[in-house]
Every structure is written in C-alpha cells, then in structure tokens.
C-alpha cells in the first residue's frame, strides 16, 4: 500500500507537521527566550532530595531539557550541586533522558506524516541511510554549535531514528559539552581555577571539530546530490 493517498491526505500531513513545528517553536520561545522556568528554584528542589538528588536531577533536568530549558544552564546547575565528576555523569544522564523523550514524541507526532510526504522510495532510502549512519548523525549533531539538541532530537524522531541510536549517540556526542558546562558550574566561585581553563579549552576544541564536521557533511551531501541535467547534457537527435 502506498504511503500517500491523494492531495487531501497530503495537505493533512503538511498541516500536521506545520502545527507540530509551530508548537515546538512556541514552546522554545516560551521557555528558552522568556524564561518562565526558574532554574534556581529547580536547583533548590533537587538539592532537597538528599542522597538521591543526582537521580532526581537526571529525571527533572531531562524533562526540562525536552521543553527547551537551555542545556548549559541545567548542566551548570549540576556542577554547582554535585561537582565536576558526579555532575558530569548526572548531566549526561539528563541529556540521554531528553534525547529519548523528545525522539519518542517526535516519532509519534511526525513520523507518519514525514514518511507520507517523502513517498515510498525516498522513505525507504531514508530508512537505509538511518540504519547505516543514524547513530553517527546523532553524535555529529551534538558537536555542531548553535543547534538545539532537543529540537534536533524531535526531528530525528520524526524521521525514524531508533531510540537506541538516540540514547547512545546523545551520550557519546554530549560528553565534551557535558563536561564543559558542568565544570564551569562547579568552578563558578573561582573562575581562575585550572578547571575553568580546561573547560574552556575543551569547549573551543569541540566547536572547531563540530564546525569542521558540519562543513565536511555539507560537502559530502552536495557531492551525492545529482545535479539537474542541462540542455548541453541532452543527447543530440540522430
């Protein structure tokens, strides 16, 4: 059975994706831009949990990340609460939680419509590409600066990236930044400490690697995209 079944259904799928994207952008503006979530109150609430505070942080921060609370702020709070070592692992746990939650929502909300608009052939090729390179696509996205991890995870879910690839890829790709922001939070009282300089150096190296990987990825994609035939390429009539 074909994925698409007429112009009416196609318009419905487009509308569904547009509404989903509008909802995510509205949520991003409400939380990340206007700052309706008080991270300081969240930090105090997590700290009051006592010995299980790191586990509480993983769950709470993971859910807050899914609604676009900025990850660097959450990671810095982890550093303040737990220090650079335990805090980094707590940040990674929260990052994986966010990736799984957002990917799952994106998959349920947008995968059917995305496949319908792509069509059978393109959807099949996309599935093959994800099977071969989906994990490393997630890892690479985490290195590219300026891209919302939550928004990217929603998109990955809509295009069908499996949950295990999201979880493993988010963990691997987030290690450098998780350390950076958590270490900066842990050293907030002494920004001249060696830990601060190490964190800044790791951040710079990660940004350079991410920019280089993005550049290579765009060049590779362009090479694999067939160019449209021009009039000069058409065979002459016999």
Q: What is the pLDDT of residues 181-215, one digit of tens each?
A: 999 999 888 878 899 999 999 988 888 887 776 66
5: pLDDT strictly greater than 50 = yes
199 found inside a domain: yes
pLDDT attached to residue 111: 74
Tell me how far apart the alpha carbons of residues 218 and 224 are, in angstroms, rounded to a whole number.
10
Q: What is the pLDDT of residues 143-152, one digit of tens each?
A: 887 788 998 8
Cα separations (Å) of 121 from 114, 118, 203? 13, 8, 40
Q: Please state which of the ranges 25-29, 39-43, 197-201, 222-226 shows the lowest mean pLDDT.
A: 222-226
CB atoms within 10 A of CB 112: 15
pTM value is 0.78
Span 111-123, average pLDDT:
73
Residue 109: which domain range? 7-223
2 found inside a domain: no
Question: At which residue do the structure tokens 């599935």 appear?
Answer: 127
Number of domains in the chain: 1
Identify the band that residue 221 occupies on the pLDDT scale cut at 50, 70 and 90.
low
234 found inside a domain: no
Q: Are 169 and 138 in contact (CB under 8 A)?
A: yes
Q: Are 85 and 195 in contact (CB under 8 A)?
A: no
On the 0-12 / 13-18 / 19+ scale of CB atoms within 10 A, 107 is buried
222: pLDDT strictly greater than 70 = no
pLDDT attached to residue 98: 96
Q: Are 95 and 171 in contact (CB under 8 A)?
A: yes
Region of residue 68 (left: phi > 0; alpha: psi -120 to 50; beta: else):
left
123 found inside a domain: yes
Span 93-118, average pLDDT:
86
Identify the band that residue 21 occupies on the pLDDT scale cut at 50, 70 and 90.
confident
On the 0-12 / 13-18 / 19+ scale of CB atoms within 10 A, 110 is buried
236 found inside a domain: no
């Amino acid at each position: 059975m074909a994925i698409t079944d007429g112009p009416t259904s196609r318009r419905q799928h487009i509308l569904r994706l547009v509404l989903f994207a509008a909802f995510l952008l509205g949520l991003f503006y409400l939380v990340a831009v206007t700052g309706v979530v008080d991270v300081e109150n969240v930090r105090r609430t997590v700290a009051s949990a006592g010995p299980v505070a790191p586990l509480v942080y993983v769950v709470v921060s993971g859910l807050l990340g899914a609604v676009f609370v900025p990850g660097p702020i959450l990671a810095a709070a982890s550093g303040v609460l737990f220090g650079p070592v335990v805090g980094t692992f707590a940040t990674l746990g929260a990052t994986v939680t966010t990736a799984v939650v957002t990917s799952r929502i994106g998959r349920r909300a947008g995968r059917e419509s995305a496949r319908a608009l792509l069509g059978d052939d393109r959807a099949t090729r996309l599935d093959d590409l994800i099977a071969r390179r989906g994990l490393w696509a997630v890892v690479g996205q985490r290195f590219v600066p300026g891209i919302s991890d939550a928004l990217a995870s929603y998109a990955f879910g809509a295009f069908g990236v499996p949950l295990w690839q999201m979880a493993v890829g988010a963990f691997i790709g987030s290690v450098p930044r998780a350390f950076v922001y958590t270490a900066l939070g842990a050293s907030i009282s002494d920004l001249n400490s060696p830990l601060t300089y190490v964190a800044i150096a790791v951040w710079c190296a990660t940004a350079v690697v991410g920019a280089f990987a993005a550049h290579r990825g765009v060049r590779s994609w362009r090479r694999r995209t067939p160019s449209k035939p021009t009039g000069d390429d058409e065979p002459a009539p016999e």
